[in-house]
Amino acid sequence: MSDFPTYIGALAADFESHFEGVLPNVTGLESRVIDAMRYAALGGGKRLRPFFVIETAKMLGYEDKGVWDAAAALEAIHVYSLVHDDLPCMDDDDMRRGKPTVHRAYDEATAVLAGDALLTYAFQIMASPKVHPDANVRLELIADLALASGHHGMIGGQMIDLTMDSHPQTQETITRLQDLKTGALIHYGVMAGAKLAGANEAQKTALSTYASHIGLIFQITDDLLDVEGDAQIMGKAAGKDESKGKATFVSILGIEGARKKAHELADEARTQLAPFGDKAAPLLGAIDFVLSRDK
Amino acid sequence: MSDFPTYIGALAADFESHFEGVLPNVTGLESRVIDAMRYAALGGGKRLRPFFVIETAKMLGYEDKGVWDAAAALEAIHVYSLVHDDLPCMDDDDMRRGKPTVHRAYDEATAVLAGDALLTYAFQIMASPKVHPDANVRLELIADLALASGHHGMIGGQMIDLTMDSHPQTQETITRLQDLKTGALIHYGVMAGAKLAGANEAQKTALSTYASHIGLIFQITDDLLDVEGDAQIMGKAAGKDESKGKATFVSILGIEGARKKAHELADEARTQLAPFGDKAAPLLGAIDFVLSRDK
């Protein structure tokens, strides 16, 4: 795939328009919280998780529009996590995707509620027959989404991150943290695409390894960006982890070591896609995209 | 039913022990958030919502243990809402059920995450085949739970409550607020019991009216307690709404008017239960219990 950034950019634009239609309209005395949900969810982002849902299903020959609803449910979970992680009691960030965070644009209480509402709405979207005609597929997607985003998934990762000082500062700890905090939802995206498309066990195994590696590469490049990145390109503050003295892949492996690790993982991820032939081009492109991203 | 408080107390104790087994064990580097989930969820509460799920199903002759799991999912939603509503940026409460609130016992970030995790876990519980053998029943329970607790449900009610100053201070506004904030989950509890038991349409209609009335009675007595209650019995501060100048059923209808309204709703709720005969005793008892509660 020669121009992956253009490809994923076009998909992100299509997804934005679909997501806009899936989100609730701003009505009722309770409209402020819906307004905040839409503010948080729309207007930017790479839409990497929707990309993995949609492109994995497509690679396996499945292009039903329900895949886009499943992608919207997953993205709603990702967006809620950003809203809550940005809160003053968490990472205390003022900017996100180049605009004020929800608690800055509204207020803290509205940000908590808008996050709760996006999280709740994700499950409402996923329960709809529009996602997939088979009720058992939808139930599996719901149960897996709760697992991937719950106390032993994304939320658990954020908990470890916040209490990092009390854990051993080892590569094992960082890997576990990132497997949960970032990896779980990316992994879920790939596997949701596979399940919607009815992938066989061998395909699921290969895609699961691919997805785990992508998640780790994503986090290693995040750590590299944190020490090397340009705050203006990233649209958020660089050097935050370093200034907080937090252990990262870079602090443990060094810049060169972290870069080497990311490239090794990328090679292994490519190997997993070989059986899918030419159709794997978008997922292959995603490896280099995540590896060389500058924000 | 001669001794309803003893009856619901025994059910609450049984539910507590079931809930304890449904909640995750405290393990992993992420254990702090699980510990906080259990701290919030266990050790008290009337368990009114589980009561409605379990007793409605039982009245209709359905006593499968999956009903208790559905009740646990609903209670997890209720508990998460208390944890988030207690946060400093919301109602800023230090005590809940006679012990420090989660953000006091742990910290704000952990309270946000523990609430998120309980909310997420509720859907994981409900997706399990243990709840009901029919996949479509589980999906309906999931979709309805998201609706009842989401932006046009409980969360919407909390949003209206927080922005009450900007709305007309009318009985219509208060009723809408309470229908969403408190009523939606109580209504859900009754209807979940009905759906698990396979109730027919006439039964569902009667139970839906019963449930709506119970929710309103619950809130009117809450407002009455706020002006008349004893802080020591309630285990939380009395007079909070009045001191904040917030419109309530009492401020709009007066103490006598509010009491009269509650009794009218109770009479109508009783009428709805007539077709169920003697088996309706627990649901009948709940009317008087909610009407005359002192905390």
Instruction: Give the best residue of A131, A151, A171 to mutate against chain B (max B CB count within 10 A).
Output: A151
The pLDDT score that the predictor gives to residue A239 is 55
A135 touches chain B (CB under 8 A): yes
Tell me what the mean pLDDT of segment B261-268 comes to: 97
Q: What tokens does A252 get? A: 């443990």
Tell me what the mean pLDDT of segment B253-269 comes to: 96
Closest-CA distance of chain B to residue A280, Å: 32
Judge: A142–B142 Cβ closer than 8 Å, yes or no: yes
The C-alpha angle with vertex A101 and arms to A99 and A105, in degrees rounded to 5, equals 85
Judge: B124–A116 Cβ closer than 8 Å, yes or no: no
Tens of pLDDT, residue by residue over B247-260, are 889 999 999 999 99
The pLDDT score that the predictor gives to residue B78 is 98
Judge: A149–B120 Cβ closer than 8 Å, yes or no: yes
CA distance A101 to A232: 16
Q: What's the pLDDT band for B159 if we cut at 50, 70, 90?
A: very high
Tens of pLDDT, residue by residue over B28-52, are 999 999 999 999 999 989 999 999 9
Judge: B155–A113 Cβ closer than 8 Å, yes or no: yes
The pLDDT score that the predictor gives to residue B201 is 98
Tell me what the mean pLDDT of segment B154-173 comes to: 94
Tell me the CATH number for domain A4-291. 1.10.600.10
Strand partners, B95: B100
Q: Tell whether the model's pLDDT for residue B239 goes beyond 80.
A: no
The pLDDT score that the predictor gives to residue B240 is 59
The pLDDT score that the predictor gives to residue A46 is 93
Tell me what the mean pLDDT of segment B210-217 comes to: 96
Q: In chain A, whose CA is at the least distance from the CA of B136?
A: A135
Judge: A121–B160 Cβ closer than 8 Å, yes or no: no
Q: Tell whether the model's pLDDT for residue B136 goes beyond 80.
A: yes
Q: In chain A, which among 50-89 make CB contacts under 8 A with chain B?
A: 80, 84, 87, 89
Q: What is the largest CA-CA distance in chain B?
A: 55
pLDDT > 70 fraction of chain B, expressed in percent and rounded: 94
Q: In chain B, whose CA is at the least distance from the CA of A164?
A: B29
Look over chain B and give the mean of its residue pLDDT values, rounded to a whole number: 94
Chain B residues close to A161, C-beta within 8 Å = none
Lowest mean pLDDT among B74-78, B112-116, B237-241: B237-241
Quote the ipTM score.
0.95
CA distance A265 to B248: 60
For chain A, the domains span 4-291
Lowest mean pLDDT among A39-48, A225-234, B131-140, B177-186: A225-234
**Predicted model pTM:** 0.95
B247 touches chain A (CB under 8 A): no
Judge: B29–A173 Cβ closer than 8 Å, yes or no: yes
Tell me what the mean pLDDT of segment B209-233 comes to: 86
A148 touches chain B (CB under 8 A): no
The pLDDT score that the predictor gives to residue A230 is 56
Judge: B116–A116 Cβ closer than 8 Å, yes or no: yes
Q: What's the pLDDT band for B230 if we cut at 50, 70, 90?
A: low
Query: Helix/strand/coil (H, E, C) string of chain A?
Result: CCCHHHHHHHHHHHHHHHHHHHCCCCCCCCHHHHHHHHHHHCCCCCCHHHHHHHHHHHHCCCCCCHHHHHHHHHHHHHHHHHHHHCCCCCCCCCEECCEECHHHHCCHHHHHHHHHHHHHHHHHHHHCCCCCCCHHHHHHHHHHHHHHHCCCCHHHHHHHHHCHHHCCCCHHHHHHHHHHHHHHHHHHHHHHHHHHCCCCHHHHHHHHHHHHHHHHHHHHHHHHHHHHCCHHHHCCCCCHHHHCCCCCHHHHHHHHHHHHHHHHHHHHHHHHHHHHHHHHHHHHHHHHHHHCCCC
Judge: A142–B136 Cβ closer than 8 Å, yes or no: no
Instruction: Give the best residue of B23, B29, B134, B149 to mutate against chain A (max A CB count within 10 A).
Output: B29
A205 touches chain B (CB under 8 A): no
Low-confidence ranges of chain A (pLDDT < 50): none
Judge: A121–B89 Cβ closer than 8 Å, yes or no: no
Tell me what the mean pLDDT of segment B273-287 comes to: 98
Q: Tell whether the model's pLDDT for residue B170 goes beyond 60.
A: yes
B121 touches chain A (CB under 8 A): yes
Q: Tell whether the model's pLDDT for residue B242 goes beyond 70.
A: no
